Each structure stands twice: as structure tokens, then as C-alpha cells.
């Protein structure tokens, strides 16, 4: 801690001289001009910044001046109030074209010269639509009101200036500048700067599950350099001013500074900010000052509603609606012209005709009258029906048990409510690899250190056994759960006196029940943590505690001191180069002690490092131990630094060990026991003086290690047992990524254990040394640009500033350099680098995820220069991210490569079957991953995206010109090879085993391929390939690839991913699917649909997608047909009434016919119809492609439906017309059989079109017909003046009592529907659909099998023998095969 305070003091001194640069101020007592202006005129802060003063603090005038424009903490997500509901709701509803259309017709009917119906009747459709939508909006808004009321009335403790104490206030009363005090498990009410934490190191832990779904803990830090650091902040002690950026929705960024009264400015960043809706965990008390409140908080600014996308079907529907408008105008113009001509032809009519109105003007009036009469031709109500149908489809998708994950207790989420039908039109699928195709539950598999590979064969065998057991367990796959996160839930409330109900409390309470109900879970929870150490690596680590001196050249399997240094640094880097939060069931927060001696005494340190007394190579000089052990430690652990190898002729000197008496020998024994090394006492031998037995023990131990093949295995077993009992409490690691957790558990397996973490130090156990407090200076977090993370620490033994870095091998290998100086050192390092690269390639071929580990030792002067730049970047508001990136890149250079790790990320269950099904369905699958090319290819083989007979096209270029030439060459190669590849597949079986081309391209080449000059060639080449794999791709490249393919090919794209790096790709695609995996919920929150496993894609696309598209397409065509068919009946009547706009039915039936009587059946049809059963669609994915190739909703199908509607309307009108020809029947009596026939034709037309008829369909059809006849009968019996000037009294009862009515209805219905039945039968005969072909093939196979069985029974009949078909209930035995 003293060293850290010295660094902080030194930084202030360095920065005091640059008072005019960036955001730093002048030295104490000399405030610069800008700071004086800031105090005198805070109103100047506008645009990009805001100023915050403490409420009720010493700066009251400034607070009042700047806080006027800041919002309060009350939230209001409702749209309406009691007074504004009716006007605002009507205003919003009339923004829709459909409602404006209905309003226009209602107003038009009030004009006397164009009036078609009673004024009240034309208002009915509009009132019904407005009322239904208003009730729905009111219920939704009331639910939001109740939620807002509950949130705003939550209680929190706020500092009161009058009472000088914290009092309870409602959330809605919190203001910017208030001091808020929170306890463990309380939810944060507003965005606050953390000023105090009960943790001694100023650390606070929060859980951001309400924001991004991540349950792992995040660490936040108290603002540095507060006047009363470590004490609870009060208004009396807080006189600082805060200046920060204006409210924004970026959850990962916060920039600003805090200026103290002495003029010193301290930079503020995201780690100081507590966000609204997060939960305090593992911290007793925190105090913060509110900087953003209410709707200005980041959580509220990210609170967006359901995603809205326009589906392709909806776009096509808009075109057809315009065609309906054209038809309406043509019909109305025909009526207008006809009425004018009719008036001109009637010179002396025998009936009354308005002779004062000119024929042209009368035709104009009739045009608008016909607009009212034929209003239902425009299927505006279809839009409302589509929304209802989509809600029904989403309900059934949401409740599909096949899309439910029992282990995670999660079902599919439909976040975009209006693109369900697009799931049935997907042509290209872009998938992430890690966490999408794989489990994203990493298991440490093998590693390479100092150029030596450690295969961890026992670990490999354990993985194979686990996979076998998993496949056998209950016939279904088991999802691994992290034991860390689940156990930590139960411990989070142990150290907290104050608690509140939360989801995690409920989860913890049900943990025991979950474990009882799922007996496999305890095994799988601990699986990722169990790493079986490699015997060879354990043997080398044992030399850290052995009294044996390592041989100078590292021969005979004995490690050199340099190799041991590499190994120690390697595992130390695995343990500390992360952001893992450490806890345990009994101690949720592991405290790092202020000062702790790593070993018992300096004698122990000296004894420890005497084992490294020989140089790493026989020809090189050993470092001599003269002076303090610290000096030797510095030399030992600085060897990773470039140029730090010192080689000289070996001197004739030996290490003096005479001071190692009996006490030291006993300490040696204790050190050996810590690493479970076999000693003489363990073998039953008597102990003696060290001087007498040292040579014999050395010889014996070396011989034992060489000749005893089981010794290393015994070491492993004892090491495993000791690591299990090493501490009373099991350590729980909560990592931000599964990679970090796997590496920390691997280090723990080798006794390099991370035991505690604070903002300033780490507590680490090293084998043979004990617990060390590692001073943590800086963390440079991972980002997609650098592809690495680093920690800057002060080495606990050497005291030097060391940078440990881990990251992608493509980046780390370029940042490492050979040491300058001796030629031998360069050769050794080149050998290490070359061997490590070979191991990296081998790991990638095995499908392992690779990470490189490196280090760098900094001189104090070099560190101070970098620290000055880093602090400048951290406290900057403008361009902060760019400055931090530049600072990190300056530090991470000239690294020393330590080794590499290979982590296994297993495929999810049924991924190969899912990809095979999608490819058979005609969907091209692209994999966009950040992994190495070899890893991606290996995973592609494993998931059957790449098959052994496929031809691999690899594109990895060094320049843009080379890329262009290679793309052209590959295009020619594909064209030449297409014939030879397609001919065998054409004669093959369905093409699932046909070979093809697979394109693999790396990230650097992809940058050039995406440029405008080469993008066409890249797309053309990729279209000819069966699949494409993009390796080393960044999040930006992923989105660019999706956009390029979507725009250039004009096809339907789907993107699926599970992490924040997939968000841009998901948002660009036509359909975005997020997988709720191990990387938080960012992808889910940005997606249209969210699933828990990749295998769910097959059911979602092949079944639900196809169903949704087929249902909606057929429903739209049926809806258009229904409207046109009924409207044409009114149009044909105009030819017999002088085009006057009269109708042959009463206006009530005319309005309610489409509004009620025929509105429900299409909805049921659109929700429940199934053209093919789900099992058949899953077994035959080709049916998905067949549905795409023969699309239901295409222009010619629209016009076929229109022509069919015209034909049926002609039959429906003229059959009754000729039946009543010459009679004195009235217009209402004439219209009665026409309406009844139209109802039967429309309903039975749907029966013909339906692929599924259930009792629900039949019930709705019967109720629709019954509602019509019930209404017209009641209307005919009791209504006398309901429809003036006509009188419907007794009309319907008279018509239905005559046989002619039923004959007309039957004849009309049959004649109208026969052409559709005949055309469908003829088309299915000439062009059978895939469904019919499948059914015919199954039937033919069954009949052929039946005949073969009959012949076999005849030729093999014996007495008392059962026929073969007896085992097949579907086949009847032949009489000839039955023996009596």
C-alpha cells in the first residue's frame, strides 16, 4: 500500500507541471483560468457536458443554477393520462392509413348527394376498430402505470440537509446531487458516482442482470483521491465539483472528472459509476452521489420496446392493396360513366328521375357513392387480422416444448412480433462459432510452456469418459451449468444484514430442489473446474520445493532454472491476468491483507532459490547468490525481459549451503510436503542431519524421478488430493467469460491459486512459496481491436513492474521479439517461438481454442512515462477511448512469449444434424468466427459443415492484388469443377452426401474482399460454394459480410450469435436470433428471436417458419378473394339498376358480412392450418426449399385469386338472377339467396384451401353460418324501420320457407366451386407438390413391400409358421400365406 501511495503522489507531481494540458489542473493553490471560470460560471457548461454539485451542500447557488434542467428520478412509461387518453389515442390511431380511410368514408356518407347507407351504419366499422384498439391500448397503458407506480414508490435512504442524517425517501423524490446510501442486495435507484464503500479497499460489487442479463459480478471502484478516503462521505466533507458527459445510452462508457477545492482534478470512468437497476452484492454499505436521474439514466435510455421490422410478405401485400385500389377506381369509374350514359338514354322515363342534375355531374356523384358501397374491396381490415394471426402464431411457437430447454428453464423468446413468416423464407444463415455451435463452456485441455508441450492425456481420457456418459444419460443431452455462479447465488446474502427480494434470492432458495430433481447436475457443474495435471509438468514444478539442485543444462529431464521461471510466470499469468471475482460460501468477499510475508523467513527464501544456483545452460554462467535473496529473486524473475540474459564463462564456484542446518532441513521437509513430494521420511527412512544425507538424498531423488514411472502419477494424485483439501472453503470464481474461468481453474490445479482480489492487489498462492500479495497497478481490459488483455503488476518476489498479457496468437506472436544480446539467447528464444507455433497449429487442427501468454518487464523510468500517458487518457472526456487504446498498444510491445493454452469448447448437442438439415433445406450456412483458420476448419468437420469429399478453397493473402488474383483463379477453378461435382450428386441420393466447394477466408483477406473493387468477385465466388467460413473476423466484418450478401443478392438472411460481438451482425440481418448462452444477454436483447440451443433452429425454421409463411400467404390470398368476390356481387347489380349505387341487400347485412360473419374463419385458418405435419417436415428438410421455389404468395397467385373471385361472383349473382327471371320478386328477396350462396361459397372455399380440419375449424365455420342466419331471421322478424327506405320485415322468413331458396343456394355453390376443385386436381396430377410426391412414394414403397412379403410367404410357407407380415400391423396377411 505504501508503494501504491508513493506512485499516486509521484503521478500528481508529474502531472502538476502540465496544468494546461488535457483535463489536468495546476499545482495546489494555483488554480488555472479554466477552473476559476468553471467555479464562477457553471452555466457555461452546455452541449456535451453537465456539471453536478452536491444537493444541500456548500455550493447552493451553483446547484440551483445548473440543476434546473436536470430531470427528476420519477419515471413515466405510460402514454396517456385520464384527461389525455381519448384525444391522444384518437390522434395516434388516425396516423394509420386504415383508420383515415374508414373516417373518410364515414364523412363522405354524410354528404346527401352521395349518401349510400344510413349515416349511423357507415360509422360502425370505424367505431368497432377504434374501440377495440383503444381498449387494448388502455389495458397496456394501465399495466405500465402500475409498474411505474411500484418502481417510483420504492424506498431508498437519502441524506437530508436539515436533519443531517440519511432518511428514507421514495425513488421519485431523488434528485441529481443527492447522496444515496445503499446496502447489500438493494437495487440502485439512479446512476451514481461511487464515493464510499464499506470494503476497506474501496471496492463495490454489482450485478447487472437487469441491464444485460449477466449474473456474474462486476467490480466498481470508489473515486480516487477523495479528501477523506476510506471514510463515509458527508456533505460537510464533500466540496468537490463533478463535470461529466451529458446523458447517453452507452452502458460501457462514462467520462468526466471531479475537481476538488484545491484545483486538483481526478478522472472519472465507467468503473466509478453505479447504474440504475443494478443490484449491490457482497458489499455491506455504499454511498454515491446521483449524476443522472430518471429518464436520463443509462438504463432508461436503453429501454426500447419490441423491435419492429417489415416482413417481405407485408411489403408484397402493400403492392397488392394498391392493385385493389386500382380495381376499385375502375369499378367506380365504370359505374359513373354507366350512370351518365343511362341518364342520357332515358328521355321520357316512366319512373321518377332527377332531371335537374346534368348527367356528367350525376355520374360524378355516383362515383363517390360507389366508393362507399364498394369500400370493403380495400382489405384494410386485413392488416388488423394479420396482427392477430401473428400473435396466435407466436403463442404456439412460444409454447412449443421442443423449443424448451429444461436444464436452463428457458423457452424461445419472440421479441419481434411481425416477421414470423420471414422464418420460412431464409436462404442464407450466418452463424457465430463459439457459444453458438459450441457449448462455450471451456475446459482446459493442454498447454505449451517454454516450447515444451504438455498433452494432459489423463484430462483427455476423462473428457472421453464424460462424453460417453453424457450420451448414455437419459437419452438426451445435458447442458453443463457453471457451479461457480449457482453456488455464489446462495452466498451473496450471507454477509449482508440488509436484503431484499430478488430473482437471485429465489434461485438460491430453490437450488437444493434443483439438485435433487437433476441428479446429473452436480457432476456437470464441477466438470469445467476439474483439471487433471500433466505428470511431466507436475514433476518439473516439484523442483521448486526439492532440495535437489537442477542440472545446469536441463538434460536428463531435469528443468533448467530458466524453464522453471517460464513455468512459474506462465501459471502466475493464468491466475492474475483476468477480471475474475473470487468468493466462497462462507466468505463471499476474499480480502487481500495489507501486508503479508510470503514465506516464514529470509532463510526460507534463500533456501528456496538455492535450487536455481546453476545457469539454465551448461555453457552459461550461473547466477551467484551473493547479497540479499531479493537481489537474486530480481535476477531470476527478470529473465523474461528482452536483453536480460547475461552469459559468461562458468566460474569455479559452488553454492554455500553450510547454513542449512537441521532447522532448515525441517523447513525443506515442510516445503516438500506442501507440494506432496515423496521424501525419505515418507518412505519410512530415518531422518538425519542435512550434511550427512544431502548427497545421498540428491542422488536418490534424481534416480527415483528417472526410474519410477509411477512416481509422477503419484505426484499428480497427491497434488489433486491436496488441492482439494488445501482450504476449508471451496473457492468460487465468477468470470466474465468461460475462457477466463477455465484458465484460472487450470492454474488452481497446479497450486497457483487466485485467492482474493481487490482494486489494488491480488492474493495468489504459488507452489512451494505460499500466499503472496501481488500489487495490481493497472488492468487493460480485452477489446475487439487489440484482441488481448493485460495486467500491470509489481512482482511479489522481484519487486519489478511486470506486464502479463494473454490474447489471440495472431496478435501476441507479432508483438513478441527475440532478446537482443547473446546469440545463444536468440537461438533459444527462436526455438521456443518455433515450437510454440507448431503447438498452436496442432491445437487448432484439434479444434481447440488457443491463447498465447506473454510478459514484459518494465524499468521504473519506462513505467513512469507510460503511467503519465495512461492517467491522461483515463481522465480525458474527449477521445478517451482512442487515447486508452493508444496507451495500451504502446505498452504491449516487445513481449516475451511464455507459452500457449489449448481450451476445449465442445459442440452443442445435435449441431451436425441441425446443419445437415438446414443444408438439405437449401439454406447456405456461413460461419463467421474470430478463431484461427485451423480451429474453424476442425469445427466445420466436426459439425458436418465440411465433409471429407468436399474441396477446400483457402484464401489467405498478403496484399490486395494477390487477393484479387486469387479470387479470379478460384472462380475459374470452381467453374471447371462444377460439372464433375454436380453429375455424381444428380444421380445420388438427395444430395446430402454430394461434394462441393467450401471457401475459407481469413480476417485480413476479408478486409480486402469486402472493399468495393473486390466485393463482386467475393460474392460471386461464395455463391458457387456450398459453405463459407470466415476466420479471424471482427464484429464489424461480420456485419459487413451480412450486409454485402443481403444487398447484392437480394435474399433473405438470418444471423445467429450469442455474444456482444455478434450484436451488429444480428441487427443487420433480416432475421436476428440470439442464443442465451455464457456471454450475457447482449445478443438476446438485440435479436428478433432468442433460443437457448442451436439445435432449436431446425424446428424453428423448417416447421414453424414454413407454417407461418404458408398460413399467412394463404390467408392473405383468401382475404383478398373474399372481399373481391362479395364486392363484385354489388357491382353486377349496378348493371340492372341504372348504376345508381343501389344494393340488393339491407345495409346492415352489407356492413356486417365482412365485419362479423366471415371474419373469424380466416383467423383460425391463419393460426392453426398445417399443410404438412411437423414430423414430416423434420424428416424431409427438402420440403422447406420446395416451399420457397413454389412460393404461395406471388403476383400470379394474386391475379388467379382475383379471377376466381370474379368467376364465383358471376355465378353467385346470375344463377339467382335467371332463377327469378320474369317473377315479381323484390330486390331484398332477390338479394337473400345471393347473400346466403355467397356465405356458403366463401366458407366452403376455405374448407377446400385448408390442409387441416379440426373440430375448431368446423365449430368456427358452423358458428359463422349460424350467426348469419340467426341475424337475418331476427332482423326479418322484428325490424320494421331498421333499414329505410326498404322494409326487410318478413323477407327472409318467406324466402327460407320456399324450396327454391335452397335449390338456388346448392346449385350456385356447386357450380361456383367446381372449377377450383378441378383445377387443383389437374395441377396436382401434372405438377404434384413435394408433399404429394412424398406421400405417393411412401404408398408405393408400402405396396411394393407388401407384394415382396407375399411372394416370400408363398415361397417359404411351412406348417405352423407365422407369416412375416404378422410383425407388421399395417400389412394384412395374404390368404395364400396362411396355413390352416
Q: Are 327 and 1131 in contact (CB under 8 A)?
A: no
* 3-state percent breakdown (helix, strand, coil) of the chain, nearest 5: 50, 15, 35
- Beta carbons within 8 Å of 1166's beta carbon, 6+ residues apart: 385, 386, 389, 392, 393, 1111, 1112, 1114, 1115
Contact 105, 123 (CB under 8 A): no
- Beta pairing class for 1089-1091 and 413-414: antiparallel
Cell numbers of 360, please?
A: 356528367
Give the up-direction half-sphere exposure of residue 567: CA atoms within 13 A in the CB hemisphere: 22
At 755, give phi and psi (nearest 5°): -105, -25
Cβ–Cβ < 8 Å for 621, 650: yes
Q: Has 225 been annotated as catalytic?
A: no
Q: What angle do CA 254, 591, 444 make, to 5 degrees?
A: 80
In the structure grid, which three cell numbers stand for residue 680, read together?
525419505
Angstrom distance (rounded) from CA 1016 to CA 1009: 9
Active-site residue identified among 320, 422, 432, 931: 432
Q: How far is CA 783 from CA 252, 273, 881, 1030, 1040, in A?
A: 12, 20, 11, 20, 19
Angstrom distance (rounded) from CA 998 to CA 1029: 8
1050 Ramachandran zone, left/alpha/beta (phi>0; psi -120 to 50): left
Joined together, the cell numbers standing for residue 562 give 530458466
| DSSP state letter for 346 | -
Contact by Cβ (8 Å): 228, 261: no
Count how many Cα atoms sit within 13 Å of the Cα of residue 378 in the half-sphere of its side chain.
20
Label residue 241 exposed, middle or buried (CB < 10 Å: 0-12, 13-18, 19+).
buried
Phi, psi of 1284, deg, nearest 5: -70, 155
381 to 125, 611, 1119, 1238, 1244: CA distances (angstroms):
9, 87, 9, 19, 21
Q: Which of 284, 255, 253 is nearest to 267 (CA)?
A: 255
**Dihedral sign for Cα atoms in the order 158, 161, 163, 164:** positive
Residue 751's beta-bridge partner residues? none
Give the three cell numbers for residue 154: 420504492
**In whole angstroms, what is the distance from residue 881 CA to residue 886 CA?**
9
Using alpha carbons, select from 1041, 1167, 1164, 1177 the residue that is nearest to residue 1101: 1177
SS3 state of residue 480: coil
Distance set, CA 516 to CA 489, 503, 519, 695, 1078 (Å): 17, 20, 6, 57, 24
Cβ 986 vs Cβ 939: under 8 Å: no
Cα separation, 181 vs 183, in Å, equals 7
Q: Compute the distance between CA of residue 1163 and CA of residue 1169 in angstroms, rounded to an integer.
A: 10
**92 and 195 Cβ atoms separated by less than 8 Å:** no
CB atoms within 10 A of CB 667: 18
Backbone angles phi, psi at 452, to 5 degrees: -110, 130
Residues taking part in catalysis: 432
Amino acid at each position: 500500500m505504501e508503494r501504491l501511495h508513493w506512485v499516486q503522489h509521484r503521478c500528481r507531481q508529474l502531472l502538476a507541471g502540465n496544468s494546461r494540458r488535457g483535463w489536468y489542473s495546476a499545482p495546489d493553490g494555483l488554480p488555472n483560468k479554466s477552473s476559476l471560470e468553471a467555479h464562477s460560471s457553471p452555466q457555461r457548461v452546455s452541449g456535451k457536458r453537465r456539471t453536478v454539485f452536491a444537493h444541500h451542500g456548500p455550493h447552493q447557488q451553483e446547484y440551483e443554477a445548473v440543476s434546473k434542467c436536470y430531470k427528476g428520478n420519477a419515471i413515466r412509461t405510460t402514454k396517456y393520462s385520464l384527461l389525455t387518453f381519448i384525444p391522444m389515442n384518437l390522434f395516434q390511431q388516425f396516423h394509420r392509413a386504415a383508420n383515415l380511410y374508414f373516417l373518410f368514408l364515414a364523412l363522405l356518407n354524410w354528404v346527401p348527394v352521395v349518401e349510400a347507407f344510413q349515416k349511423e351504419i357507415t360509422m360502425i366499422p370505424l367505431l368497432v376498430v377504434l374501440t377495440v384498439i383503444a381498449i387494448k391500448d388502455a389495458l397496456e397503458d394501465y399495466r405500465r402505470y402500475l409498474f411505474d407506480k411500484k418502481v417510483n414508490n420504492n424506498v431508498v435512504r437519502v441524506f437530508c440537509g436539515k436533519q443531517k442524517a440519511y432518511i428514507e425517501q421514495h425513488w421519485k423524490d431523488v434528485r441529481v446531487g443527492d447522496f444515496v446510501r445503499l446496502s447489500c442486495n438493494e437495487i440502485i435507484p439512479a446512476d451514481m458516482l461511487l464515493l464510499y464503500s464499506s470494503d476497506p479497499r474501496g471496492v463495490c460489487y454489482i450485478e447487472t442482470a437487469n441491464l444485460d442479463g449477466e449474473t456474474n459480478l462486476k467490480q466498481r471502484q470508489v473515486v480516487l483521491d477523495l479528501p477523506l478516503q476510506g471514510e463515509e462521505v458527508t456533505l460537510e466533507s464533500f466540496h468537490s465539483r463533478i463535470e461529466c458527459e451529458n446523458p447517453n445510452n452507452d452502458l460501457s462508457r462514462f467520462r468526466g472528472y471531479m475537481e476538488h477545492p484545491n484545483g486538483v482534478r481526478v478522472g472519472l470512468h465507467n468503473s466509478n459509476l453505479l447504474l440504475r437497476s443494478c443490484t449491490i452484492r457482497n458489499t455491506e454499505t455504499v454511498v454515491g452521489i446521483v449524476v443522472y436521474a430518471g429518464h436520463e439514466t443509462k438504463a432508461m435510455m436503453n429501454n426500447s420496446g419490441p423491435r419492429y421490422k417489415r416482413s417481405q410478405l407485408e411489403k408484397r401485400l402493400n403492392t397488392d392493396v394498391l392493385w385493389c385500389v386500382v380495381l376499385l377506381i375502375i369499378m367506380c369509374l365504370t359505374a359513373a360513366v354507366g350512370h351518365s350514359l343511362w341518364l342520357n338514354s332515358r328521355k321520357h322515363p316512366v319512373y321518377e328521375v332527377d332531371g335537374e342534375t346534368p348527367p356528367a355531374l350525376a355520374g360524378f356523384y355516383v362515383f363517390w357513392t360507389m366508393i362507399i358501397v364498394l369500400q370493403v374491396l380495400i382489405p384494410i381490415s386485413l392488416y388488423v387480422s394479420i396482427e392477430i394471426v401473428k400473435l396466435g402464431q407466436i403463442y404456439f411457437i412460444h409454447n412449443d416444448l421442443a423449443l424448451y430447454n429444461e436444464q436452463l428453464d428457458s423457452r424461445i423468446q419472440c421479441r419481434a412480433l411481425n416477421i414470423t413468416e420471414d422464418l420460412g423464407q431464409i436462404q442464407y444463415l450466418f452463424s457465430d462459432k463459439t457459444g453458438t455451435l459450441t457449448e462455450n463452456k471451456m475446459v482446459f485441455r493442454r498447454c505449451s510452456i517454454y516450447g515444451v508441450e504438455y498433452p494432459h492425456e489423463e484430462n483427455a481420457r476423462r473428457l472421453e469418459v464424460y462424453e460417453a456418459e453424457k450420451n448414455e444419460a437419459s437419452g438426451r443431452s445435458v447442458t453443463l451449468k457453471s457451479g461457480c455462479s449457482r453456488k455464489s447465488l446462495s452466498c451473496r446474502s450471507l454477509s449482508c444484514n440488509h436484503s431484499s427480494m430478488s430473482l437471485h434470492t429465489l434461485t438460491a432458495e430453490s437450488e437444493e430442489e434443483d439438485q435433487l430433481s437433476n441428479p446429473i447436475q452436480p457432476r456437470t457443474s464441477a466438470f469445467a473446474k476439474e483439471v487433471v495435471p500433466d505428470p511431466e509438468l507436475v514433476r518439473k514444478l516439484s523442483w521448486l520445493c526439492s532440495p535437489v539442485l537442477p542440472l545446469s543444462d536441463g538434460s536428463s529431464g531435469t528443468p533448467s532454472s530458466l524453464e522453471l521461471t517460464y513455468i512459474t510466470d506462465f501459471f502466475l499469468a493464468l491466475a492474475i491476468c483476468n477480471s475474475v471475482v473470487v468468493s466462497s460460501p462462507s466468505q463471499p468477499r476474499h480480502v487481500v491483507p495489507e501486508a503479508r510475508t510470503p514465506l516464514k523467513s529470509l532463510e526460507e527464501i534463500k533456501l528456496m532459490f538455492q535450487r536455481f544456483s546453476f545457469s539454465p545452460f551448461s555453457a552459461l554462467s550461473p547466477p551467484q547468490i551473493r547479497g540479499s535473496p531479493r537481489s537474486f529473486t530480481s535476477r531470476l524473475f527478470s529473465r523474461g525481459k528482452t536483453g536480460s540474459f547475461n552469459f559468461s564463462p562458468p566460474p569455479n564456484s559452488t553454492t554455500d549451503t553450510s547454513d542449512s542446518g537441521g532447522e532448515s532441513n525441517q523447513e525443506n521437509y515442510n516445503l516438500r510436503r506442501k507440494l506432496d513430494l515423496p521424501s525419505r521420511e515418507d518412505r519410512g527412512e530415518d531422518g538425519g542431519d542435512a550434511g550427512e544425507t544431502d548427497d545421498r538424498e540428491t542422488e536418490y531423488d534424481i534416480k527415483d524421478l528417472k526410474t519410477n514411472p509411477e512416481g509422477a502419477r503419484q505426484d499428480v494424485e497427491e497434488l489433486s488430493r491436496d488441492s482439494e483439501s488445501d482450504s476449508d472453503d471451496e473457492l468460487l470464481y465468477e468470470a466474465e467469460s468461460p475462457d477466463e474461468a477455465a484458465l484460472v481453474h487450470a492454474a488452481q490445479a497446479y497450486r497457483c491459486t487466485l485467492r482474493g482480489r481487490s482494486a489494488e492487489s491480488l492474493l495468489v498462492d504459488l507452489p512451494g512459496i505460499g500466499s503472496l500479495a501481488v500489487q495490481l497497478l493497472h488492468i487493460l481490459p480485452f477489446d475487439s481491436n487489440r484482441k488481448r488483455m493485460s495486467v500491470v503488476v509489481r512482482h511479489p518476489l522481484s519487486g519489478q513492474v511486470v506486464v502479463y498479457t494473454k490474447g489471440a496468437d495472431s496478435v501476441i506472436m507479432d508483438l513478441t521479439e527475440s532478446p537482443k544480446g547473446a546469440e545463444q539467447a536468440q537461438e533459444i528464444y527462436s526455438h521456443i517461438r518455433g515450437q510454440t507455433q507448431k503447438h498452436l497449429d496442432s491445437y487448432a487442427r484439434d479444434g481447440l481454442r488457443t491463447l498465447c501468454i506473454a510478459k514484459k518487464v518494465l524499468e521504473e523510468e519506462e513505467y513512469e512515462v507510460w503511467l503519465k500517458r495512461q492517467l491522461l487518457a483515463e481522465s480525458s472526456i474527449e477521445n478517451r477511448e482512442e487515447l486508452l487504446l493508444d496507451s495500451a498498444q504502446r505498452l504491449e510491445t516487445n513481449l516475451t512469449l511464455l507459452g500457449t493454452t489449448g481450451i476445449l469448447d465442445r459442440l452443442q448437442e445435435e449441431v451436425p444434424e441441425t446443419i445437415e438439415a438446414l443444408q438439405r433445406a437449401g439454406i447456405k450456412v456461413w460461419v463467421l468466427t474470430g478463431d484461427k483458420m485451423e480451429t474453424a476448419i476442425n469445427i466445420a468437420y466436426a459439425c458436418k459443415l465440411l465433409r471429407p469429399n468436399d474441396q477446400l478453397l483457402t484464401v489467405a493473402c498478403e496484399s490486395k492484388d494477390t487477393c484479387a488474383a486469387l479470387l479470379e483463379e478460384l472462380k475459374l477453378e470452381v467453374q471447371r469443377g462444377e460439372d464433375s461435382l454436380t453429375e455424381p450428386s444428380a444421380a445420388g441420393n438427395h444430395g446430402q452426401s454430394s461434394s462441393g466447394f467450401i471457401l475459407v477466408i481469413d480476417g485480413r483477406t476479408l478486409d480486402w474482399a469486402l472493399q468495393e473493387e473486390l466485393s463482386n468477385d467475393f460474392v460471386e465466388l461464395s455463391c458457387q460454394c456450398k459453405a463459407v467460413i470466415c476466420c479471424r473476423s471482427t464484429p464489424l466484418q461480420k456485419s459487413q459480410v451480412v450486409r454485402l450478401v443481403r444487398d447484392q443478392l437480394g435474399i433473405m438472411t438470418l444471423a445467429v450469435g450469442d455474444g456482444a460481438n455478434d450484436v451488429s451482425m444480428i441487427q443487420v440481418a433480416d432475421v436476428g436470433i440470439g442464443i442465451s448462452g455464457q456471454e450475457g444477454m447482449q445478443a438476446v436483447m438485440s435479436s428478433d428471436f432468442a433460443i437457448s440451443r442451436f439445435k432449436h433452429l431446425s424446428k424453428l425454421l423448417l416447421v414453424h417458419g414454413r407454417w407461418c409463411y404458408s398460413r399467412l400467404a394463404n390467408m392473405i390470398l383468401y382475404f383478398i378473394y373474399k372481399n373481391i368476390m362479395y364486392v363484385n356481387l354489388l357491382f353486377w347489380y349496378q348493371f340492372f339498376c341504372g348504376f345508381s349505387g343501389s344494393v340488393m341487400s339491407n345495409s346492415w347485412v352489407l356492413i356486417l358480412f365482412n365485419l362479423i360473419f366471415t371474419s373469424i374463419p380466416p383467423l383460425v385458418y391463419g393460426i392453426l392450418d398445417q399443410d404438412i405435419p411437423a414430423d414430416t417436415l423434420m424428416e424431409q428438410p427438402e420440403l422447406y426449399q420446395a416451399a420457397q421455389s413454389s412460393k404461395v404468395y406471388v403476383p400470379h397467385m394474386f391475379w388467379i385469386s382475383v379471377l376466381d373471385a370474379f368467376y364465383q361472383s358471376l355465378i353467385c349473382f346470375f344463377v339467382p338472377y335467371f332463377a327469378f327471371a320474369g317473377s315479381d320478386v323484390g330486390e331484398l328477396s332477390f338479394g337473400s339467396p345471393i347473400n346466403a350462396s355467397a356465405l356458403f361459397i366463401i366458407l366452403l372455399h376455405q374448407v377446400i384451401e385448408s390442409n387441416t380440419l379440426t373440430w375448431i375449424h368446423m365449430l368456427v365455420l358452423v358458428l359463422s353460418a349460424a350467426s348469419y342466419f340467426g341475424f337475418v331471421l331476427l332482423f326479418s322478424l322484428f325490424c320494421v324501420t331498421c333499414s329505410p327506405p326498404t322494409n326487410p320485415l318478413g323477407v327472409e322468413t318467406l324466402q327460407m320457407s320456399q324450396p327454391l331458396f335452397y335449390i338456388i343456394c346448392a346449385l350456385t355453390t356447386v357450380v361456383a366451386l367446381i372449377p377450383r376443385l378441378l383445377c387443383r386436381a389437374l395441377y396436382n396430377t401434372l405438377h404434384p407438390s413435394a408433399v404429394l410426391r412424398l406421400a405417393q412414394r411412401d404408398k408405393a414403397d408400402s405396396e411394393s413391400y407388401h407384394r415382396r412379403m407375399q411372394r416370400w410367404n408363398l415361397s417359404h410357407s411351412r406348417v405352423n409358421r407365422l407369416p412375416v407380415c404378422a410383425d407388421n400391423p399395417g400389412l394384412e396377411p395374404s390368404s395364400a400365406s396362411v396355413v390352416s
